[in-house]
């Protein structure tokens, strides 16, 4: 049997350009042509490999260059030569050798868990406390500035069994957002609707615009104003007739303490890229629930590799009750990096049961998509 005390001897990094099928606009910025991710592979003495992804967005979490530097210069020395069984102490050291760099730390923990799971013949969810669900309802985000293209996407995902969408708002004008809400409500009544401003509203306009969209009875309205505007979030929450969610305002457990204390929202988007890993994402979700908040499993602009890590985390976190947004690998990238398709069936993400993360990247594809260094 493979030995959990063997050493990690290989540490490889790829900085990828991931082409996408369309432009997408958000309150804080646009994606056009593609997005960038950083992939980490750890290899043990017996050749077992563990994988992780840092999904970076410079306007949200941080830059891909920062993730490369964190992984290559600061995290590599605390990993190479260590034993697989030292996962806890490696992640504890990671907190202090480089500040922030949450996507890089998430990639590292994903790769360590993948390794440990493959060695122990256990899925990652088993290492995170055990599975509480076999699949997770999928929400697809609607963010194309061309409305007709979004309508075509909604028809496609409806055929696939998806029944949740999140409308990205606050990147054009208010009439545009109202029109799209009305169209979705009228033409796609079988869908539940969520709204996400991605910080896109100005202070003086925020309350009225949120109230206007709340009239369409979305499940929730997410992050209408800038991340640091806690006081305004609290004010909006006090008048908003539908739940208010925090995303950019809450990265990890430390933000969650303050957000709950100040009552800025009714729920939170839990993302492994914000929290700095899978276990810290779980801690954030548990803290949210203890304050009566709801939670869903969010993502950044990711490939199927990061989706897998997120899926295992959500599978083992009972406090995340509102589904997930792991749709990029299926509906947004031109080609995913996983050798086999990221598992989605009838509008739900299927939780893998194979050891580790359950699937692996195609190394040839990584080489093709890698940036020249």
CB under 5 A: which stretch of 90-98, 212-220, 239-247, 333-341 binds Mg ion? Answer: 239-247
Residue positions counted in the chain: 373
Beta carbon nearer to Mg ion, 168 or 280: 168
Sorted by sequence, the CB contacts under 8 Å of residue 65 that are 6+ apart come out as none
Beta carbon nearer to Mg ion, 110 or 223: 223
Nearest approach, Cβ of residue 247 and Mg ion (Å): 4
Taking the C-alpha atoms of residue 248 and residue 272, their distance in angstroms, rounded to an integer, is 13
Could you say which of 114, 135, 196, 302 contacts Mg ion (CB under 5 A)? 196
Beta carbon nearer to Mg ion, 111 or 137: 137
Beta carbon nearer to Mg ion, 114 or 247: 247
Beta carbon nearer to Mg ion, 224 or 347: 224
Nearest approach, Cβ of residue 271 and Mg ion (Å): 9
Nearest approach, Cβ of residue 298 and Mg ion (Å): 6
* Residue 350 to residues 24, 154, 244, 308, 357, Cα–Cα distance (Å): 26, 21, 28, 10, 12
Beta carbon nearer to Mg ion, 246 or 357: 246
Nearest approach, Cβ of residue 82 and Mg ion (Å): 35
Nearest approach, Cβ of residue 166 and Mg ion (Å): 8
Residue 219 binding Mg ion, by CB under 5 A:
no
Nearest approach, Cβ of residue 198 and Mg ion (Å): 6
Q: DSSP class of residue 132?
A: S
Residue 38: closest CA among 61, 17, 7? 17
Q: Compute how many other C-beta atoms are within 10 angstroms of the C-beta atom of residue 346.
A: 11
CB 359 within 8 A of CB 304: yes
CB 28 within 8 A of CB 223: no
Taking the C-alpha atoms of residue 7 and residue 67, their distance in angstroms, rounded to an integer, is 24
Sign of CA dihedral 279, 282, 288, 289: negative
Q: Compute how many other C-beta atoms are within 10 angstroms of the C-beta atom of residue 214.
A: 19
CB under 5 A: which stretch of 149-157, 192-200, 235-243, 338-346 binds Mg ion? Answer: 192-200
Beta carbon nearer to Mg ion, 206 or 359: 206
Beta carbon nearer to Mg ion, 141 or 279: 141
Residue 247 binding Mg ion, by CB under 5 A:
yes
CB under 5 A: which stretch of 49-57, 84-92, 216-224, 303-311 binds Mg ion? Answer: 216-224
Nearest approach, Cβ of residue 221 and Mg ion (Å): 11
Nearest approach, Cβ of residue 280 and Mg ion (Å): 18
State the DSSP H helix or E strand holding residue 136, giving kind and residue range, or none if neither. Answer: strand 135-137
Which residue lies nearest Mg ion, judged by its C-beta? 247
How many helices (H) and strands (E) in the chain?
A: 14, 15
Displacement of CA 335 from its chain's centroid (Å): 18
CB under 5 A: which stretch of 47-55, 170-178, 188-196, 212-220 binds Mg ion? Answer: 188-196
Taking the C-alpha atoms of residue 220 and residue 237, their distance in angstroms, rounded to an integer, is 11
- Contacting positions for Mg ion (CB under 5 A): 196, 222, 247
């Amino acid at each position: 049997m493979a030995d959990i005390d063997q050493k990690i001897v290989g540490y490889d990094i790829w900085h990828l350009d991931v082409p996408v099928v369309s432009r997408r606009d958000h309150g804080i910025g646009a994606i056009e042509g593609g997005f960038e991710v950083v992939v980490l592979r750890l290899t043990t003495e017996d050749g077992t490999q563990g994988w992780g992804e840092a999904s970076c967005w410079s306007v949200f979490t941080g830059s891909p260059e920062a993730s490369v530097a964190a992984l290559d210069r600061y995290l590599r020395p605390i990993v190479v030569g260590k034993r697989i069984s030292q996962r806890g102490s490696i992640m504890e050291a990671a907190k202090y050798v480089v500040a922030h760099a949450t996507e890089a730390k998430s990639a590292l923990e994903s790769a360590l868990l993948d390794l440990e799971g493959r060695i122990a013949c256990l899925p990652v969810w088993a290492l995170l406390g055990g599975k509480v669900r076999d699949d997770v309802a999928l929400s697809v985000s609607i963010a194309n500035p061309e409305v007709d293209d979004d309508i075509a996407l909604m028809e496609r995902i409806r055929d696939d069994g998806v029944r949740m969408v999140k409308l990205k708002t606050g990147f054009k004008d208010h009439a545009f957002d109202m029109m799209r809400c009305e169209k979705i409500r009228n033409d796609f009544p079988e869908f539940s609707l969520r709204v996400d401003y991605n910080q896109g509203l100005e202070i003086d306009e925020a309350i009225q615009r949120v109230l206007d969209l709340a009239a369409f009875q979305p499940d929730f309205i997410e992050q209408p104003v800038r991340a640091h505007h806690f006081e305004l979030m609290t004010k909006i929450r006090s008048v908003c007739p539908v739940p208010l969610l925090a995303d950019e305002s809450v990265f990890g457990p430390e933000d969650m303490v303050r957000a709950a204390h100040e009552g800025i929202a009714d729920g939170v988007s839990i993302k492994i890229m914000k929290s700095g890993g899978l276990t810290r994402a779980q801690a954030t979700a548990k803290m949210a629930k203890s304050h009566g908040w709801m939670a869903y499993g969010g993502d950044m602009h990711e490939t199927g590799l990061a989706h897998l890590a997120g899926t295992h985390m959500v599978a083992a976190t009972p406090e995340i009750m509102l589904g997930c947004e792991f749709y990029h690998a299926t509906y947004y990238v031109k080609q995913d990096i996983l050798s086999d398709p990221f598992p989605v069936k009838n509008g739900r993400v299927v939780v893998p049961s194979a050891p580790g993360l359950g699937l692996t990247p195609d190394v040839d594809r990584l080489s093709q998509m890698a940036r020249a260094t």
